[in-house]
Amino acid sequence: MQISRLFGIVYYLLDKKESTAKELADRFEVSVRTIYRDIQTLSSTGIPIYTSQGKGGGIFILNNFVLNKSVLSEKEQDEILLALQNLSAAQYPDIDFVLSRLSNFFQKSDVNWIEVDFSPWGSDERKKEKFNELKMAIIRKQIIMFEYFNASGTKSMRRVEPMKLIFKDKAWYLKAYCYDKKAYRTFKISRMANLEISDDVIGQRIPGEFTAESEDNHILEFIDIRLKISPAGAYRVYDDFNEKEITKHEDGSFTVHTSMPIGDWLSNYLLSYGPVIEWIEPQSLRNTVIGKMEVIMQNLNRKDETR
């Protein structure tokens, strides 16, 4: 993150000739103190960047300065552009300006090779905006409020200090300090609703240990399961399980041996396989799935007098 900002500062000053610490801080969305630290870093690398005090003062680079790309190897240039492209795909503020200038400077045109969309297929614009709102709240160190639905569907209001976004097992999560629980928690972003960004700024806090956001906040218990999946379910098998857990048979069917957290969600998850699932062990889990299937059949066969 810092290296892209440093290059951004250099190119901004080369383009604008002169700026102020506040103008740079606003542009790169960091504090004035951070900008002055960046100036010291750039100066220590030999870049002739200076500050002048008083009326008409500011930050500038000597007019005869030319950034020499030979100080970076081909591999280092590619790694810088890769990092910037990832930030651009994540819609990091003003990064496209830096990416464009550096790609031209390094004489590399093929940099638009990745696109990242943090929302599922078919999501509306509001869902697509949620990730970026959380990202900016973390960058700007703003406290946020939202409604949260836990695994059992219970709704609660939360006020938190957002700290990190993490992608794990096909879903995005927010790691944050929760004022309501007075502890660090992990929230599944898809279960967050009515997000509000506060003007309150996060104070200095010593990072603590994150714990999973669950009904009782206890350590999850796991159960060993065996599944038999028909050939038509190949797309789900390889999406959901590790290759080491999968055995493919000559008829194209699959056996999966894995371990998964115990909970009501597990039987609902297995039901999502529909007719491609042919066997479930242990017996207790199979009975639970069958019981839910019977309830579904009763509900679907029941005459709805209100329809």
Confidence grade of residue 2 (pLDDT, cut at 50, 70, 90): low
Least-confidence region, from 59-73, 96-110, 201-215, 263-277: 201-215
R_g over Cα of the chain? 26
pLDDT reported for residue 159 = 93
The structure's pTM equals 0.47
pLDDT reported for residue 200 = 80
Measured from the Cβ of residue 149, the count of other Cβ atoms closer than 10 Å reads: 15
- What is residue 67's three-state secondary structure? coil
Confidence grade of residue 114 (pLDDT, cut at 50, 70, 90): low
What are the residue ranges spanned by the domains of the chain? 2-105, 125-212, 222-301
H-type helices in the chain, by residue range? 2-16, 21-28, 32-44, 74-89, 95-105, 125-139, 234-240, 264-271, 283-301
**2-105, what's its fold?**
Arc Repressor Mutant, subunit A (1.10.10)
- Report yes or no: 99 and 81 within 8 Å, Cβ to Cβ: yes
Least-confidence region, from 4-8, 115-119, 238-242: 115-119
Measured from the Cβ of residue 41, the count of other Cβ atoms closer than 10 Å reads: 16
Residues forming a β-bridge with 167: 172
> What is the rounded distance in angstroms from the CA atom of residue 78 to the CA atom of residue 70?
13
pLDDT reported for residue 216 = 39
Measured from the Cβ of residue 172, the count of other Cβ atoms closer than 10 Å reads: 17
pLDDT reported for residue 212 = 46
- What is residue 101's three-state secondary structure? helix
Interval 163-183 mean pLDDT: 83
> What is the rounded distance in angstroms from the CA atom of residue 176 to the CA atom of residue 193?
16
Residues forming a β-bridge with 236: none
pLDDT reported for residue 113 = 53
Q: Answer yes or no: is pLDDT of 88 > 70.
A: no
- Which pair of tokens denotes residue 216? 């009782």
**222-301, what's its fold?**
Alpha-Beta Plaits (3.30.70)
pLDDT digits (tens, 9 = 90+) for 151-160: 666 789 999 9
pLDDT reported for residue 128 = 67
Mean pLDDT for the chain overall: 78
Q: Answer yes or no: is pLDDT of 80 > 90.
A: no
Q: Answer yes or no: is pLDDT of 24 > 70.
A: yes
Least-confidence region, from 5-14, 29-38, 71-80: 71-80
Give the residue, 100 or 230, on which the prediction is more confident.
Answer: 230
pLDDT digits (tens, 9 = 90+) for 242-262: 888 999 999 999 999 999 888
Give the residue, 221 or 226, on which the prediction is more confident.
Answer: 226
pLDDT reported for residue 161 = 92
Pairing of strands 222-229, 183-188: unpaired
pLDDT reported for residue 84 = 66
H-type helices in 45-90, by residue range? 74-89
Give the residue, 221 or 148, on which the prediction is more confident.
Answer: 148
Q: How far is CA 193 from the centre of its chain?
A: 17
Q: Answer yes or no: is pLDDT of 109 > 90.
A: no
> What is the rounded distance in angstroms from the CA atom of residue 6 to the CA atom of residue 183?
35
> What is the rounded distance in angstroms from the CA atom of residue 262 to the CA atom of residue 224?
10
Give the residue, 193 or 107, on which the prediction is more confident.
Answer: 193
- Which pair of tokens denotes residue 226? 């065996």
> What is the rounded distance in angstroms from the CA atom of residue 216 to the CA atom of residue 214?
6
Confidence grade of residue 217 (pLDDT, cut at 50, 70, 90): very low
pLDDT reported for residue 117 = 58
Q: Kindly tell me the burial class for residue 224, based on how many C-beta atoms sit within 10 Å of its own C-beta (0-12, 13-18, 19 or more).
A: exposed
Measured from the Cβ of residue 9, the count of other Cβ atoms closer than 10 Å reads: 24
Q: Answer yes or no: is pLDDT of 136 > 50.
A: yes
CA distances from 270 to 153, 266, 288, 300 (A): 19, 6, 10, 19
pLDDT reported for residue 119 = 55
- Percent of the chain whose predicted confidence (pLDDT) is above 90: 23
